[in-house]
Structure 1
Amino acid sequence: MTEQEDKGDTGREAGKGDKAARVAALRPAYQDDLAAGTDRFFTARRTDCPWCGADRLTPRLRTPDLLQHKPGHFTLDRCADCGHTFQNPQLTEEGLEFYYRDFYDGLGEQRMSGTFGGRTAMYEGRAEAMLPYDPTPKTWLDVGTGHGHFCAAARSVLPGTSFDGLDFTDGVELAAREGRVDHAYRGAFPALAPELAARYDVVSMFHYLEHSTDPDRELRAAHEAVRPGGHLLIEVPDPESRYARLLGRWWLPWLQPQHLHFMPVANLRRRLTELGFTVVAEQHAEPHDPVDLLAAVWLALDHTAPREDAPWLPERPGPLSRGLRATLLLAGVPALITATLLDRFALRPLSHRLGLSNAYRLVARRD
């Protein structure tokens, strides 16, 4: 073994040891949270649709947390009148804090930063969607910016644009320190909207609305922040995608328990018109992220395999459990490779034609 390889192995072992120590340090607080049960994490179940008020609700999906594997089961109901799908019962503020904790920050920060930081082409495509309608925006606010990776990538498309970011996590402050955003706003968008009134040529919400407890409030805040004649750019999962039906709980964009609302495109178009926007573009093929089959195979493998160590488990899994997990995941590699090839090369060119696009994008001008 070379000296460089030896240092690499030492670094990996140190990294594993550091994570184990962090998990052990967090375990008492998680166990205290769970000792009181999970009922307090949920509101009362609704009997009417939060979008249109109709009372004809049907269950669409029931699933555990397939990503972090935190305790709890989550139900999505669909309105038979307008097609809106929503988490019911919905998480409380305490529940949102519990299930978001250590996903985008804390234990999950490095993983999420690597995931989002490696998607430059996708971010540039989002910025390019604005070019036919405003090729030289001066000010842009990215709502739900996370660590600001979109803003950093979009500068290559729009070098003359000033990009600000807004989020309720400390990731937006990290984005400002790293120079990915020019100004960081931390907090809830509806609360901050009055001070941002008519300030921006463009406001973007990329995979943000589905996380909000009240999408209508967020849309009204966007109308306030966009200047007259400016644009709102929205991208959300498409609940009408055929993948949503074919893959069931294994469809990644369901992302329970974080995603609270799923709006069919007709509903969102209608609401934007009512608020005083004109929808100038609707895209389905362009925002499609070709990962559905890969993600489904991974979620199924990860769900079947023994759990990896996490602070919400009562104790660290033993060597036998860890060995079984590694063996099963290794056996699943051929399926993961096959799913990747199908996603990227066989199905991606046909995704819109087959109704498989997993997201849609709207560009709307404020009248």
Structure 2
Amino acid sequence: MLGGDGPRRYFLAFQTNAEARGTGGLVGAFGILRANRGRIAVERLTPNNGLAASPVPVADHGRDFRGRYGPGAARMLSVSNLSPHFPYAAATWTGLWERQARTRLDGAVATDPVGLSHLMRLTGPITLPGGERVTSGNVVDLTERVAYARYPDPVARKRFLIEIARAVGEALPGLLTDPARSLPVLSAMVGDRRLQVWSRHEAEQRFLARTPAGGVLPSGPGPFAGLVVNNSAGGKLDYYLDRSLDYELGPCRDGLRSSTVRVRLTNDVPPGTLPSYVTGRLDSPRGQHTPGSNLLWVSLYGGLGAKVTEARLDGDRVPVVRETERSHPVYSTMLELAPGQSRTLRFDLTELASDEPPLVPVQPLARPQLTHVTQDSRGCAP
């Protein structure tokens, strides 16, 4: 994949976790990653408005995908990664680029500001053209909070973000030739889903799909609880979003098991005035919303054959929409969070009996998710 048998080119997406998407965050900037004989270079770094929408879908991810996300998810960069299944987003990104640039790509790679903080453990601090010092410790705050307050002009803000990405990219090629230093950092990025990779070459993609780097939503049997949030307000408040998930797997009887998933979400936005670009409510611009309120599309992905028997929000029953993605049942609801507000969703589930270990994938947002899994000690063989 690094060009051992000829040059390779990949779509490189920089995701902004301040506005949540299924694979992590809105694609705020992108570039082309070129690899040849093991050496890499980043070229054509561009803000997200540099990739035009397509009048027709550039990829076909199937009926369930179209029903859940709509036709725009395969036509527009801004909603291309609502699904947590990274290959869907990657195929759409490459399709959009190839339609616009008329050049074929070999795959796609995605990272985010937290990923950049990992990479800067290799590069060390960098100094921007204006003299500002960027470090592993401050790059996330700079790109996901400070930049919005400092640059009211979106063009200037995006230029600042691309300066940081370009500086890190220019420092990387020489460092990646030292596996003893680079592999532990890359491994940590993959484990945290801060580095996701898709290849157009089938043999490579089959290998990637079996690893965390592939960002694949698995479709095998067994207990499963995946929390995915997508920002529906159009602001940048998910930098302040705290998440916790408690998954309680009960005993089995007659081939079934009763389980409970509790999801707690907190809008930890600080008091005071934030830029309107951060707090804006594009979902209803003329609505009367408290500044700092957020709107999220919250989805729970269950295991194959699982059914939600009841859902409650802060103790009261709440309707949820049931859909399917890659054979997983998905239960979703819209959730508004006022500044400082915490809300709890409880899902009571009936699952198929299985002795497979429970899987709880974590969406890579700005703040880590607190996850707690308990399982009945008597086991649960089907």
Counting strand residues as a fraction of each chain, which structure ranks higher? 2
TM-score, normalised with respect to structure 2: 0.27
Q: Relative to total residues, which structure has the larger helix share, 1 or 2?
A: 1
Task: Give the TM-score of the pair, scaled to structure 1.
Answer: 0.28
